[in-house]
Amino acid sequence: MMKRISRLLIIIMICNLLGGCWGAKEPSQLSLITALGIDKVKEKYLVTVQILNTDKVASDRSGADGTAVTTYRMEGKSLEEAIRRLSLEIPRQFFLGHLRMLVFGEDFAREGIGTTLDYLLRNSEIRSDFYIAVLRGKKATDALNVLTPLDQNPANKLFQSIENSEKIWVATTKVRLFDLIEMTQSEGIEPILTSIIVTGDTDIGMSKENINYSDVPANIQLGPVAAFKGDKLIGWLNDSQSALVNIIRGSEKGFLIIVPWVDPKEFINLTAENLRKTITVEEVMGKPKIIVNMKIKASIAEATGVIPIDKPGTIKQIERKTEDYLVMRFSKSTSEIQDKFKTDIFGFGRSIKIHKNKLWKKVGKNWDNEFPIIPVEYKVKVEITTTGTTTKSLKPTK
């Protein structure tokens, strides 16, 4: 009896395996959406989708006709309606499972992006590993139309640029769907996003003519951090401010430190290769004070002018000068963000909540007004570990 039951169970299991993926479709039957742009036109959503031309991508002929992607636009009273109305133009069933970039236009981001996050979170097709960015000064549809020589797929170009830049340029950041949702729902920290800038002639940029130039007429590039309060864009940081925000929020990437020397034309370029950071909170007269301690190990990447790196004591002098410079630079950027943006994109409120919960319960209710006036003190320790292959800086030629 037991043997019969065992055989029956095995047969059932094998039958389940033979079923395959019910309802599966071949890529040739789908329109693969690689980028989604969201704007607002009056009271309607303007949705732009970038669809991969699979026949073009699969072709081995570099000179094959057509472009790697095609863009479609549609308006609707809601995001869901606009996307569904795309079926009026797109002949195949569209699929969001290959989404690589979500781009918000600036005007739309300033009104608030919260409703789109709800839609994306509920959509079972969408994976969460795509990047999210804001297009500065233009509509999202403008970014998704620009073809570039190195990668004719704008979504892929942006995705790879974010991946590469995130490793070596601390002023940029990468944010995925769950990262953004967590930032909008958490206390004591406000959202940030990567910004995108479209340069040049966008009319030429959307045609194949753009990829025929070594110096392209139109291009897409990453910019510094976009600052939010809640789900609304409130402004754009500069490179120094963006770098500090990313460092405070836990970026482990290396970053460049340009330290001025004695002569204005002389400077030392240091590469910060290892950074350890701790944030402590003190209570002073019932108010929080933030203290940021940093220990940085760096190497000399470049030295201009006559800087006697080989002389005893010069390395220590460079270390002390770098420490003073970073404290000044970090303090200045912090004050600028507090005065101009008045939004806690550093996450200092979250640090207070973790380390001084009773104090947070007192100040957290009015954190929008408390954040701009809290004192922030930086303590920086720099250690230069290597000077490169030479200990002398080259003398400038006359």
DSSP 223-270: EEEEEEETTEEEEE--HHHHHHHHHHTT--S-EEEEEE-SSTT-EEEE
Taking only Cα atoms into account, the Rg of the chain, rounded to an integer number of angstroms, comes to: 26
Residue 141: strand pairing partners:
none
Element containing residue 314 per DSSP (H, E): helix 314-340
**Count of beta carbons in the 10 Å neighbourhood of residue 144:** 27
pTM metric for this prediction: 0.84
**Residue 336 is which amino acid?**
E
Element containing residue 348 per DSSP (H, E): helix 348-355
Using CB atoms within 10 A of its CB, is residue 160 exposed (0-12), middle (13-18) or buried (19+)? middle
Query: What string of pLDDT tens digits covers the 398 residues of the chain?
Result: 555 545 554 555 555 555 544 444 555 567 788 899 999 988 899 999 988 876 555 554 444 555 677 888 999 998 889 988 988 888 778 788 889 999 999 999 999 998 888 888 888 788 888 999 999 998 998 888 777 666 667 788 888 889 888 888 888 999 999 999 999 999 999 999 999 998 765 554 454 555 545 556 567 889 999 999 999 999 999 999 999 999 999 876 678 888 888 777 788 888 888 899 999 999 999 999 999 999 999 998 887 777 777 787 888 999 999 999 999 999 999 999 999 999 999 999 999 999 999 999 999 999 999 999 999 999 999 999 987 655 555 555 55
Apex 234 CA angle, 231 and 236, nearest 5? 120
**Residue 183 is which amino acid?**
M
What is the distance between the alpha carbons of residues 17 and 78, in angstroms, rounded to a whole number? 40
What lies within 8 Å, CB to CB, of 297 at 6+ separation is 272, 273, 274, 275, 383, 384, 385
**Count of beta carbons in the 10 Å neighbourhood of residue 319:** 19
Residue 273 confidence (pLDDT): 84
Residue 102 confidence (pLDDT): 95
**Count of beta carbons in the 10 Å neighbourhood of residue 260:** 12
Residue 218 confidence (pLDDT): 65
Contact 172, 162 (CB under 8 A): yes
360: Cα separation from own chain's centroid = 29
Residue 332 confidence (pLDDT): 97
Which of these, 390, 183, 226, 176, lies nearest to 302 by C-alpha position? Answer: 390
What are the angstrom distances between the C-alpha of 386 and each of 298, 323, 364, 389, 391?
Answer: 7, 17, 44, 9, 10
Count of residues in the chain? 398
First to last CA, the chain: 100
Domains of the chain: 27-236 (no CATH), 252-386 (3.30.300.210)
Residue 195 confidence (pLDDT): 95
185-214 core/surface letters (b: 16 or more CB in 10 A; e: else): eeebbbbbbbbbbbeeebebbbeeebbeee
DSSP 63-91: T-SS-SEEEEEEEESSHHHHHHHGGGT-S
Contact 359, 288 (CB under 8 A): yes
Residue 282: strand pairing partners:
289
